[in-house]
């Protein structure tokens, strides 16, 4: 590792150099204690794990200690949550611990847009970076195709019902579903940031070209199929959930599901291979499970339940990551994912950076692609202390779950000793542990203090508790989230949202679904411009979606998009391929 210098090399250059010394797959299999046939190679550098075989063998094995990595409210640049997750895995590995990391598969949207890949960075990243960042073993392609097959089934059925009488439908073994073209819930899926596809009209032409109606596309990782991959506990569970996806409503207001369209089995056929987690490795050779990739601002924001459960059986320590800040990612981990997996966290790491805290203290806007303002590179204790109100809010969120948080100060070379000391002091004053980590610069060696803090905290059993009971009315649970997690003084609802909430509470098939809030990740509130710890505001619920297969209700807070947009200086302008080696270059 001495030859890999993150100060002079780009992430893709580090990854390319490190890949020359990657651990062979059979060594990773031996490290994990896999039996013959449990590793499913995809070429020389990637593999899947046969979940069913491994769990059948290790069903009664004890679970390892469970650590979640979350963050404060980030800047648009991100604060290094994945880098910290990988750094912590490397640090625990340096301390001789059997450890596995669990992260999400990156979406093509951010990879080719502004944010870039999600492989970590510096000397704390996973490899092979190119395949990890682009396609991997095809899981997102499977999600996209399964989703779009449901849309094909829907639109074909609508056309045939328009063109055929009841007798002809009956001869085909079909009943008339009377789908309302103005009340279609599902969208097409594409895994890019394609704002031009948010609102489209389909079915234009003649009677054989479909039913003309308003439609649209969402990014694949926000689709319910991706959410189902993340929350399923087995292939059988995935198959059961696939049948419950609400595609549309009929003209009487009754739901039309994938099972009604008789497409649920075929959709599952696309997902048979995708149900098995993918295996990559850190720069230092620890195993990383990559599985599912739902966004956290518009979906559940977690790697899969299957990956975490598998990792818990195969290691003594599992480090998993939740998307964005504790108000979004950790809250969904806590109240949704942990219910499904049966696992409870022994420690929670909150990643914080000096630059983000200064922004929350009133610093100038941080914009991707723009030079970082000088205030973020020079000492300013007053701005920093004010911004720590955001950190305190996230500490309190984690504490509400009964788990003691560890604040990881993800260090940058521009941070002054006085600034780092101030954040550590404030974190400890509010009941959190604190650790400095420069894993980006030094890999596992830079994460030793963080790893030791995690080991200390995980020696104690947490007093883990959920925020709400699933039988509480939907409105009460939304208002509890708004008040106790986001800090809102109240909640407002559109008439459409209230009508849907009443319908959900009255339906015995939907009562008891979890709450998966869709809101901005750039603020504790619904407004991305409100930084720090906003007070005196109300959370506006514009609409409510039902993800019947995934098993949760999705309230839409503020102006949140299911399809992000591509910026003016996207990453794809710099990504290319070395035609002599076939290696992907320019990823970041």
List the catalytic residues.
Answer: 81, 83, 104, 115, 296, 324, 412, 440
- β-partners of residue 407 are 350, 434
Rounded Cα distance between 363 and 357, Å, is 9
Query: Is the separation of the CB atoms in 447 and 406 below 8 Å?
Result: no
- Dihedral sign computed on CA atoms, order 203, 205, 210, 211: positive
Query: Is the separation of the CB atoms in 207 and 162 below 8 Å?
Result: yes
CA separation (Å) from 195 to 200, 219, 556?
A: 10, 10, 18
* Residue 479 DSSP SS3: helix
User: Which residue, 169, 183, 466, 478, is CA-closest to 339?
Assistant: 466
CA separation (Å) from 244 to 33, 302, 521?
A: 37, 21, 28
Rounded Cα distance between 528 and 540, Å, is 14
Q: Where are the alpha helices (DSSP H) in 45-116?
A: 51-58, 81-94, 108-111
- 475-481: Cβ within 8 A, 24+ apart: 475/501, 475/505, 477/515, 478/515, 478/517, 478/539, 478/541, 478/555, 481/331, 481/515, 481/517
Structure tokens at 37: 């046939």
Rounded Cα distance between 147 and 140, Å, is 10
Query: Is the separation of the CB atoms in 176 and 260 below 8 Å?
Result: no
Q: Where are the beta strands (DSSP E) in 99-229?
A: 99-103, 120-121, 124-127, 179-184, 188-190, 200-202, 213-215, 217-219
Q: Which residues contact 416 (CB under 8 A, 6 or more apart)?
A: 379
């Amino acid at each position: 590792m001495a030859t890999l210098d993150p100060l002079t090399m780009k992430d893709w250059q580090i990854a390319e150099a490190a890949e020359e010394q990657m651990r062979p797959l059979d060594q990773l299999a031996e490290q994990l204690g896999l039996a013959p046939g449990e590793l499913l190679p995809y070429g020389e550098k990637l593999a899947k794990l046969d979940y069913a075989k491994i769990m059948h063998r290790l069903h009664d094995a004890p679970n390892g200690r469970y650590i979640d990595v979350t963050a404060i409210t980030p800047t648009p640049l991100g604060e290094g949550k994945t880098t910290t997750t990988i750094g912590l895995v490397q640090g625990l590995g340096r301390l001789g611990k059997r450890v596995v990391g669990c992260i999400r598969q990156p979406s093509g949207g951010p990879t080719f847009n502004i944010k870039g890949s999600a492989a970590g960075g510096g000397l704390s990243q996973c490899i092979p970076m190119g395949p990890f960042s682009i396609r991997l073993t095809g899981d997102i392609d499977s999600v996209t195709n399964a989703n779009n097959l449901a849309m094909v089934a829907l639109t074909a059925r609508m056309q045939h019902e328009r063109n055929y009488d009841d007798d002809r439908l009956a001869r085909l073994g079909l009943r008339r579903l009377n789908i309302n073209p103005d009340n279609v819930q599902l969208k097409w899926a594409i895994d890019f940031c394609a704002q031009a596809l948010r609102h489209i009209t389909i079915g234009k032409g003649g009677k054989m070209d479909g039913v003309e109606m308003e439609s649209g596309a969402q990014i694949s990782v926000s689709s319910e199929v991706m959410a189902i991959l993340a929350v399923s506990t087995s292939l059988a569970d995935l198959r059961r959930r696939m049948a419950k996806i609400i595609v549309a409503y009929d003209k009487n207001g009754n739901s039309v599901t994938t099972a009604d369209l008789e497409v649920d089995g075929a959709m599952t056929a696309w997902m048979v291979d995708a149900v098995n987690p993918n295996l990559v490795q850190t720069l230092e050779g620890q195993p990383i499970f990559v599985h599912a990739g739902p966004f956290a601002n518009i979906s559940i924001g977690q790697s899969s339940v299957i990956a975490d459960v598998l990792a818990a059986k195969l290691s003594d320590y599992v480090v998993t990551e939740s998307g964005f800040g504790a108000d979004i990612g950790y809250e969904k981990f806590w109240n949704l994912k942990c219910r499904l997996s049966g696992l409870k966290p022994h420690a929670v790491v909150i990643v914080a950076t000096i630059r983000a805290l200064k922004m929350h203290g009133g610093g100038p806007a941080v914009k991707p692609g723009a030079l970082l303002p000088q205030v973020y590179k020079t000492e300013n204790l007053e701005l920093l202390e004010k911004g720590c109100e955001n950190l305190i809010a996230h500490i309190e969120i984690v504490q509400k779950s009964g788990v003691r948080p560890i604040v990881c100060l993800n260090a940058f070379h521009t941070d002054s000793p006085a600034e780092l000391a101030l954040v550590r002091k404030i974190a400890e004053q509010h009941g959190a542990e604190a650790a400095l980590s420069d894993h980006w610069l030094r890999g596992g060696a830079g994460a030793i203090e963080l790893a030791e803090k995690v080991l200390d905290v995980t020696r104690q059993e947490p007093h883990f508790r959920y925020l709400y009971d699933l039988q509480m009315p939907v409105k009460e649970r939304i208002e509890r989230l708004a008040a106790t997690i986001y800090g809102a003084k109240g909640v407002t609802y559109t008439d459409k949202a209230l009508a849907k909430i009443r319908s959900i509470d009255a339906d015995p098939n939907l009562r008891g679904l979890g709450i998966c809030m869709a809101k901005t990740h750039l603020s504790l509130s619904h407004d991305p411009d409100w930084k720090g710890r906003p007070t005196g505001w109300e959370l506006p619920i514009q609409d409510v979606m039902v993800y019947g297969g995934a098993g949760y209700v999705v309230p839409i807070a503020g102006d949140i998009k299911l399809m992000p947009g591509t910026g003016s200086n996207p990453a794809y302008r710099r990504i290319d391929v070395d035609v002599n080696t076939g290696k992907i270059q320019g990823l970041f």
